[in-house]
Structure 1
Amino acid sequence: MNILTLSDIESGYLWSCQHPIILKNVDLILSCGDLDPHYLSFIATYTHAPVLYVHGNHDTSYQTTPPEGCICIEDRIVTYHGVRILGLGGSMRYKAGPYQYTQSEMNRRVRRLWMKLRLYGGFDILLTHSPAFGIGDGTDLPHTGFHAFRRLIEKYEPYAMVHGHTHLNYGTAYQRLREYQHTKIINAYERYLLKFKQ
């Protein structure tokens, strides 16, 4: 399965006149947040693939203008062609506003999912905005990762975690691909094509 992952910055490559060709062989699109809702709506118009998303910390416009033709999977597990995707958006709380959480608040969000996690037998892809604590996150508060995400990876060992938030142009400390235990960690900044092997 070809999964196009997106985050943080609109891709000129996808805005181009070649987008129908680019999206032709994409089976699923996952957005990690901080993208203009009109951009996601545009992409959804030119693909047969579902567009699933979580919120980034800058997605306040989604409250009045959600991306059309796209599916929000916050605090949900969605299955597509047998692939289980768990969505948990937002960043560490560093100021007042939506889609920001303390470590304790994110822990509570995850605890509320225990029945779904049991019912689904875990998940294959963790779709987030922020990284997991200590795995590609930053040292400043806004870019600190969540402990809850790391625990989810350790307990369920999903195929992949896909996140954004820590832009690859912030410096060499941030990498596109990592691995933690048996899980691929993907920073989806702008765009990345994940070939999911079932």
Structure 2
Amino acid sequence: MRILVIADIESKALWDYFDKSMLENVDLIVSCGDLNPKYLSFLATFTKAPVIYVRGNHDAKYEMTPPDGCICIEDDIFEFHGVRLLGLGGSMRYKEGSNMFTEKEMKKRVNKMRFKLRKKDGFDILVTHAPAYQLNDGDDIPHKGFQVFRDLMDCYKPLLFVHGHVHANYGGRYKRECKYNETRVVNAYERYYIDIDDEVIAENRKKRGPKTPLIGNLFPK
């Protein structure tokens, strides 16, 4: 499976100077937020691959103008060819506005998903806008990552975690890829291609974490 992940800045090669070959053999497009909804709609027009997305902290306009032909996976688990993708958009709250959350609020969102997580027996890919706490995040509140994302990876051991929000011009804080335990962490800034072998997915399923309890919170602390 080939996945195209995008975030934060519209790729000129995919929009201004559109080159259809850039979408060849792409099975799924995943947006990690802070992108023009018209850009996502444009991509959906020129590919048979589903375009799924979470919202970034600058995506308030999605409420009035959602991307046409695209699928929002906020607070949901989207399954594609047996691969389960969990979506949690937004950033750390640094002012009043939509798509921003405190750590407590993000944890509450995750806990509300415990029945979906149990039904799907976890997930394979975590899709967010913000990074995880101390995984290439920033020291300032707007770019601080969420601890609950690390908790999710600890509990469910997903194969992949893709996020945006950390731009290439952020210097040492920007890394395209790293690892967190057994999870591959990818920054989706602009565009990036990820190839996942079906055998790797199957092997990861064997290592998945415990099922979610039917009652109580996932991460009560």
TM-score by structure 1 length? 0.98
1:171 aligned partner: 171
CA deviation after TM superposition for structure 1 residue 18, in Å:
4.8
Is 1:19–1:46's contact at 8 Å kept on the other side of the alignment? no
Asked if residue 27 in structure 1 is aligned to residue 61 in structure 2, the reply is: no
Q: Which residue of 1 aligns with 2:115?
A: 115
Q: Structure 2: how far apart are the matches of 1:64 and 1:18? A: 26
Check the 8 A contact 1:168/1:189 in 2, yes or no: yes
Partner SS state of residue 191, structure 2: strand
1:153 maps to 2:153: yes
Q: How far has the Cα of 1:17 moved from its partner? A: 4.8
Partner of 1:132: 132
State the match for 1:143 in structure 2.
143
Contact 1:124 1:159 in 2 (8 A): yes
Would the aligned equivalents of 1:3 and 1:26 in 2 still touch at CA under 8 Å? yes
Cα distance in 1 for partners of 2:196, 2:49 equals: 15
Paired residues in the alignment total 198
SS at 2:172 equivalent: coil
Matched, 1:90 2:96: no
Deviating beyond 2 angstroms after TM superposition, the runs of 4 or more aligned structure 1 residues are 16-19
Q: Is the 8 A contact 1:74 1:87 kept in 2?
A: yes
Task: Decide which moves more: 113-122 or 97-106.
Answer: 113-122
The code of the aligned residue for 1:169 comes to N
2:163 and 2:154 mapped to 1: Cα distance?
16
Matched residue, 1:73: 73
Q: In the alignment, what sits opposite 2:101?
A: 101
Please identify the structure whose Cα radius of gyration is greater.
2
Deviations 1:124-162 (A, max 9, x none): 000000001111111000000001101001111101000
Structure 2 unpaired stretches of 5+: 199-221
Aligned residue in 2 for 1:6: 6
Greater Cα offset, 10-19 or 117-126: 10-19
Q: How many Å separate the matches in 2 of 1:37 and 1:30? A: 13
Question: 2: distance between equivalents of 1:167 and 1:136?
Answer: 11
With 47-56 and 111-120 compared, the bigger mean Cα shift is at 111-120
**Contact 2:12–2:18 under 8 Å retained in 1:** no
**C-alpha deviation, 1:170, in angstroms:** 1.1
Unmatched runs of 5 consecutive residues or more in structure 1: none
Cα deviation per residue 1:52-90 (whole Å; 9 max; x = unaligned)? 000000001111111100000000001000000000000
RMSD over aligned Cα atoms:
0.9
Give the Cα–Cα distance (whole angstroms) in 2 for the partners of residues 66 and 136 of structure 1: 29
Q: State how far apart, in whole Å, the 2-side matches of 1:19 and 1:58 are.
A: 27
Q: Which residue of 2 aligns with 1:56?
A: 56
